[in-house]
Amino acid sequence: METEKITKVLERLGYSPNEIKVYLTLNKHGSTKAGKISKLASIDRSSAYNALKLLQEKGLVSYVMIGKVKWFQATGPRRILDYLKEQQEDVQEIIPSLQELHKSAKIEGQVRLFKGLKGIRSIFLDIIRTKKDNFVFGSEGQFSTRMPEFALQFDRMKRESKIKTQLLIRKGRKEIDSTTTKYRYLPNIPESSAVTNIYGDKIAIIIWTDEPEGIIIENPSASKAYKGFFDFMWNHAKDL
């Protein structure tokens, strides 16, 4: 079970199946010749050599020569963290250039689609990056129910970024008090699986089905129209 969990994490980090098999083999058995690695990992010799080469480039595998034979060994597991930090530093170097290209190529009215809990997480992180107040209606508390740990992180990030939220909810629903959120309710509103967020020039609609989906519409005119609709509802709503 533990090996399965490790494998899944390494897959998410971008390692190929053969890289994972070879790395875990070396991590378990210590210094080993390539031929034996291929047998223990249950892959052919050429695949083992290719995986060893890739792992060496990442600094996760090294070797020593004993006579004319290479004996491979895995570096300490913490090297995985060091490699991730190096990748992060490389990405940070190119972010400014990517941002400029993104701005110059952006089309007004662009739409982005997201699927799954990771996609929904990306939407909420976009709200934080925008640093604009968020105006929400249609919430049934799905966010805190489906993603409780990240919901707490999001609330903390909102406080740090000084982002305020105005949230319209159904009468009868209970919400946890938050220093960054004001609540009002409207009567006679049916339950909904769709939640609308309006922030800056963007509208994010999240549909909380079994596999949640979301859409971000970036369009100043549309955002202004939605905000006008929200303000109308807010002005006719009642305090909790």
Tell me, yes or no, whether 87 lies in a domain.
no
How many folded domains does the chain comprise?
Answer: 2
Show the beta-strand stretches assigned E in 35-147: 61-66, 69-74, 110-115, 134-137
Domain boundary among 80, 97, 129: 80
Question: What was the pLDDT predicted at 185?
Answer: 86
- Residue 205: CATH number of its domain: 3.30.870.10
In a domain, 96, yes or no: no
Q: Is 165 in contact with 180 (CB distance < 8 Å)? A: yes
Each residue's pLDDT tens digit, 5-59: 888 888 888 889 999 999 999 988 988 998 999 999 999 999 999 999 999 988 8
pTM of the model: 0.58
User: pLDDT (tens digit, 9 = 90+) per residue, 60-75?
Assistant: 898 888 888 889 998 8
Residue 125 lies in a domain: yes
115 & 210 share domain: yes
Task: Determine phi and psi for 233, rounding to 5 degrees.
Answer: -65, -40
Does 27 lie in the same domain as 132? no
What is the residue range of 204's domain?
Answer: 110-239
Do 130 and 215 lie in one domain? The reply is yes
Looking at residue 109, what is its pLDDT? 59
What CATH number has the domain bearing residue 52? 1.10.10.10
Mean of the per-residue pLDDT values of the chain: 87
Q: Are residues 216 and 132 in the same domain?
A: yes
Beta-bridge mates of residue 215? 113, 205
What are the residues whose beta carbons fall under 8 Å from the beta carbon of 77, sequence distance 6 or more? 27
Statement to judge: residues 168 and 211 lie in one domain? yes
Residue with tokens 């020569």: 65
- State pLDDT tens for residues 199-236: 999 999 999 999 999 999 999 999 999 999 999 999 98
Report the share of the chain in percent with pLDDT over 70. Answer: 93
Average pLDDT of span 86-100: 83
* Average pLDDT of the residues in 114-134: 93
* Residue 84 DSSP one-character state: H
Looking at the structure, do residues 223 and 122 belong to the same domain, yes or no?
yes
Banded model confidence at residue 104, pLDDT cuts 50, 70, 90: low
- Is 114 found in the same domain as 201? yes
pLDDT per residue over 165-181, tens digit each? 999 988 766 555 567 88
- Other residues' Cβ atoms within 10 Å of the Cβ of residue 111: 11
